[in-house]
Structure 1
Amino acid sequence: MVAARRTELGLDDPLWRQYVEFVQGLLTGDLGTSFSLRLPVSDVIGQRLPATASLAVAAFVVALAIAVPLGAAVAAATRRGRRRGLELGFAGTSVVAGTIPDFLLGVGLVSVFAVGLGWFPVAGRFGPESYVLPVLALATGPAAVLARIVRVEMLAVLDADFVRTARAKRLSAPRIYLVHALPNALTASLTLGGLMLTSLVAGTVLVENVFAWTGLGSTIVQSILLKDYPLVQGTVLVYGVAVLLVNTAVDVILALIDPRSTIGES
């Protein structure tokens, strides 16, 4: 039975032939067959990729929605050494929130809001309410880090000459902050945001297992435990491609928003 199985899987072939066949399969979209599920790996990934993508994108949007206005507001409030207590409180809170592992935060959220209060489902992907806890677990740390970056960039922009000129023209405060200051403060923040999105994609591996989320994260852990090598290879490959695509998209968006960031621009 072992010999027959090895022949069926092509393990009797030389390693170079196995590698060539694997690369040929990649070019045609054939990632092999899962040992444990007896299904094409591409089909398994296609079924579970939307769950992971939706979770990562939702966490990314929530992190931006929290970090950008929070960082900008704290920068405006603590500009030129004002409200020292607020600055220290923001710095301390953001450091603590940014250092808590997402899977540990997920366990705490489940214990309090799912098991204790019963406000949200404990696990599974059944509706919009099931997104709340895993999204918070993923988004809290990146939001805290990004808010600190936004604050630092915003403070630098608020002391720039063009902002002083806008104040001298007696423009309204909302126009100065939203039209002139904030767009110029987001260049570095968008770069970090792109890296943050890649970390969110990778972070789904642990968070999905905490919340029994049927995505690629739980799939890769199960396939490792079952030694399902084709499924492990295919899933890791998808994660790698996702990181490359996100980094490329961030570079393109930065070039469109700020042409000065491109090579050769003066």
Structure 2
Amino acid sequence: MTTATVRLAQSARYTDHRWARFAVRRMGRLLVSLWVLITASFLMIHLVPGDPIRAAMGPNASAEVVAARRESLGLNNPLWQQYFDYIGGLFTGHMGVSIGSQLPVAQTIAQRLPATLTLAVLAFLVAILIAIPIGVAVAIATQRGRDRGLELGFTSFSVFLGSIPEFLLGVALVAVFGVQLGWLPVAGRSGPESYILPVLALALGPAAVLARIVRVEVLAVLDSDFVRTAQAKRLKAFRINFRHVLPNAITATLTLGGLLLSGLIAGTVLVETVFAWPGLGTTIVSSIQTKDYPLVQGTVLVYGVGVLLVNTLVDVVLAILNPQSTVADS
């Protein structure tokens, strides 16, 4: 066996061990985070002052009815037993029973989750499709200090747009395009046109933030040695920008865009409320108002798990795009 073959085998073993350590660390962090989230969501119903059953059923419910409801939900059991019953139920898909509707929480979430996921994914795609072309175009137009006016206008407008809360932007869109112009529906999920305003309310802020990131990444690539070499060879600008600049800038952009998806998932709560969207956002708001704590507990858990899974996926994608991050990560 030659020296080169031995070195190649050692490098392959090192790479395998590095990825194995990375996978173990990431899985460990995910499991710990899930345990903290599950525990926090369980304690939520027990740390609320007063009796949630009495609060949900109203002052006119008799003591016997309230006691029977507490017994049926297992709230008379010791706290440790309720905790292990809750965790055991999660493994079997049982997340408790709604106090108001008396339907399984998992059933209600399964009915509402597709609407929220569709809204968040569409908003993410729209943000990407808006941010990347605008960020690339502005970077090319303002490289090496050119067009200071465009740079100042782009930065100012993107900062302003990115600082507007989603719900406030949603209200403004409703007022202009729904009420004054009457072009688009302002409530419900009745057809393709009903997606436009809530998707824009969710996507415009992240798109503004991501466009600034794209511009910075593209400017860094435009100033790199291999791009200057390609320009010295008098290659066409279109070829340089789309075959060399964009692929190198897009990896970091998509990774950071994945982090924005976590924010979009959380942002659906208020946006769904503004547009009366039949998703988890309106479910959690209405269940808080009616003090339906098992439903609040289950919905919060689903939101938390979604954010954790997205963050883990972003870490994995970043490690694939930049294998050295698996070494630096600890």
TM interval, shorter chain, is over 0.9
- 1:262 is displaced (CA, Å) by 3.5
Find the counterpart in structure 2 of residue 162 from structure 1: 226
After superposition, residues 1-266 of structure 1 pair within 5 angstroms as: 1-263=65-327
- Output one character per residue of 1:141-165: Cα deviation in whole Å (capped at 9) or x when no partner: 0000010011011111100001111
Which moves more between the two structures, 249-258 or 118-127? 249-258
Which moves more between the two structures, 184-193 or 98-107? 184-193
Q: Whose radius of gyration is greater, 1 or 2?
A: 2
- 1:256 is displaced (CA, Å) by 3.3
Residue type at the aligned position of 2:283: T
TM-score relative to the length of structure 1: 0.96
In structure 2, distance between residues paired with 1:172 and 1:254 = 31
Which segments of 5 or more consecutive residues in structure 2 lack a partner in the other structure? 1-64
In structure 2, distance between residues paired with 1:255 and 1:170 = 35
Which moves more between the two structures, 54-63 or 1-10? 1-10
In structure 1, distance between residues paired with 2:174 and 2:223 = 44
Give aligned pairs, total. Answer: 265
- 1:260 is displaced (CA, Å) by 4.2
- 1:242 is displaced (CA, Å) by 0.8
In structure 2, distance between residues paired with 1:56 and 1:264 = 32
- Output one character per residue of 1:68-126: Cα deviation in whole Å (capped at 9) or x when no partner: 11011100000011011100110111011001111001001001101111110020001
Would the aligned equivalents of 1:187 and 1:258 in 2 still touch at CA under 8 Å?
no
Q: Segments of 4+ in structure 1 off by > 3 A?
A: 255-262
Would the aligned equivalents of 1:190 and 1:254 in 2 still touch at CA under 8 Å?
no
Which segments of 5 or more consecutive residues in structure 1 lack a partner in the other structure? none
The root-mean-square deviation of aligned C-alpha atoms, in Å, is 1.4
In structure 1, distance between residues paired with 2:236 and 2:310 = 37
Residue 99 of structure 2 aligns to a residue whose secondary structure is coil
Residue 197 of structure 1 aligns to a residue whose secondary structure is helix
- Output one character per residue of 1:24-79: Cα deviation in whole Å (capped at 9) or x when no partner: 10111110111112111111111110000000000000000000110111000000
In structure 2, distance between residues paired with 1:260 and 1:99 = 34
- 1:19 is displaced (CA, Å) by 0.7
Identity rate, percent: 69
In structure 2, distance between residues paired with 1:18 and 1:154 = 54
Residue 259 of structure 1 aligns to a residue whose secondary structure is coil
Which moves more between the two structures, 6-15 or 86-95? 6-15
Residue type at the aligned position of 1:89: G
